[in-house]
Amino acid sequence: MIVYHGGYCAIEQPEIREGRYAKDFGIGFYCTELYEQAARWAKRYDTPIISTYDFVSNCELNILHFTEMTEEWLDFIVDCRRGMAHTYDIVIGAMANDQVYNYISDYVNGILTREQFWVLAKFKHPTHQMNFCTLRSLSCLLFIQSEEFTR
C-alpha cells in the first residue's frame, strides 16, 4: 500500500519524534493513504513536501486498526490526547481533524454529551491516518520519493 507524509522536508528515514502537543494516536511518525490529506498537512509550511512510502505490513507487530469512528476510537483518542501511553506498534484509523478535535475537546470538558459528539462528528469528510509508534514499525516503510507540493 502506498502512504504519504506531509511536512516541510523530505524524509527518507522516518523517525519517532515527540511533538509539542498530544496527537490522536500518541507519539510517532504519521502517514496517510490519502494524498490530498498529506497535501493539507504539508501546506502548513513555507515549503510543502510530500514523502511517499510503500507500506508493507508485518504480522508480528501489534497493530490497532479502527475501521470506523467508534466509541473505542473516541476513547482511545481522548486517552492519547491526555498523554496516556499505549503499547501498539501501529495505530490506523480516522483522524480527528480540527473540527472533530473541537468536538472531542467539548466532550472532554463536558460541553457536549457523547451522543451530541456523534451527531456532529458523523457529518465530517473521511480522513485516514497511520501512526508508526515504535522503531520496529518504521521498518514497514520503504521510501519511494519526495516532492514539493505545488498545487
pLDDT means over runs of 10, the chain (151 residues)? 96 86 87 93 93 96 93 91 92 81 85 87 77 96 94 68
- 50 and 4 in contact (C-beta within 8 Å)? yes
User: What pLDDT, on a 0 to 100 scale, did the predictor assign at position 124?
Assistant: 63
pLDDT value for 65? 97
Instruction: Provide the angle, in degrees to the nearest 10, between the axes of the packed helices 71-81 and 114-121.
Output: 100
Q: Look at residue 101 in the predicted model and tell me its pLDDT.
A: 74
Angstrom distance (rounded) from CA 86 to CA 80 = 8
pLDDT for position 148: 93
pLDDT at residue 21, as a whole number: 65
Sorted by sequence, the CB contacts under 8 Å of residue 58 that are 6+ apart come out as 136, 137, 139, 140
* pLDDT attached to residue 143: 98
pTM attached to this predicted model: 0.86
